[in-house]
């Protein structure tokens, strides 16, 4: 039984090492393709999914992580959880949590770094404690345990994305205000018609009462 467990442990270790090598090779090929496309080289890409530009990047001593989503989680990968940014590719990650923190882009084009772990994260030398969030500026230096990362922002793409979001928000608000005003006008006209109908009913009732009283008076006479 002990030999079987040891053999399973060794086999799992070999599979995990092979998986990490495959992932790193895939990242390198992806980075190479993006660099060639950015340089204007003619490359035929069979995959129909377009290569979106990165909002920002984290550059370490071994790997460059591209941030293409408005909210990404960084941490240490495991069998049960895979973060968006796997810091274990930078070396030893014993003191890095699986979900160590997140980097998010707000609607006004500002990046924020939040720390979810009990281990302190340093941004430009300032400690970020658990459940704290700090603004992440361009060319900021992030220290997570022994891993040092440089944060670079793609200002052109971020500005374009934020301007499009603001335009969409304005169009939505204008359409909603227009629909509410038209509803108010329709409601007002409906109330006016109802009030007019009530007035006509009252006047008809008064005329009917007057005619009945005249008939009774003529009969008595």
Residue 120: pLDDT band with limits 50, 70, 90: very high
Q: What integer pLDDT is reported at residue 220 of this predicted model?
A: 47
Q: Taking the alpha carbons of 179, 184, 188, 193 in that order, is the dihedral positive or negative?
A: positive
pTM: 0.55
**More confident call, 186 vs 26:** 26
The tokens of 32 are what? Answer: 């190479």
What would the mean pLDDT of 23-50 be, rounded to a whole number? 63
Q: What integer pLDDT is reported at residue 5 of this predicted model?
A: 84
DSSP state of 52: P
User: Phi and psi (nearest 5°) for 2?
Assistant: -65, -40
Phi-psi region for residue 30, left (φ > 0), alpha (ψ -120 to 50) or beta?
Answer: alpha
- Cβ(151)–Cβ(136) below 8 Å: yes
Burial category of 49 from C-beta neighbours within 10 Å (exposed 0-12, middle 13-18, buried 19 and up): exposed
């Amino acid at each position: 039984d002990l030999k079987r467990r040891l053999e399973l442990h060794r086999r799992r270790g070999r599979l995990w090492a092979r998986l990490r090598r495959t992932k790193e090779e895939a990242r390198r090929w992806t980075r190479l393709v993006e660099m060639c496309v950015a340089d204007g080289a003619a490359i035929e890409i069979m995959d129909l999914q377009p290569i979106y530009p990165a909002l920002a990047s984290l550059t370490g001593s071994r790997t460059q992580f591209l941030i293409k989503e408005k909210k990404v989680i960084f941490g240490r990968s495991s069998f049960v959880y895979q973060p968006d940014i796997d810091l274990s590719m930078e070396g030893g990650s014993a003191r890095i949590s699986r979900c160590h923190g997140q980097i998010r882009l707000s609607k006004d084009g500002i990046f924020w770094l939040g720390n979810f772990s009990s281990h302190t994260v340093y941004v430009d030398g300032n400690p970020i404690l658990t459940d704290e969030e700090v603004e992440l500026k361009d060319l900021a230096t992030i220290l997570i345990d022994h891993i040092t990362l440089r944060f670079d922002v793609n200002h052109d793409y971020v500005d374009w994305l934020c301007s499009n979001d603001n335009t969409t928000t304005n169009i939505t608000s204008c359409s909603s205000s227009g629909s509410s005003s038209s509803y108010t006008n329709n409601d007002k006209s409906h109330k006016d018609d109802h009030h007019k109908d009530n007035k006509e009913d009252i006047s008809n009732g008064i005329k009917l009462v007057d005619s009945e009283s005249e008939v009774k008076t003529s009969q008595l006479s």
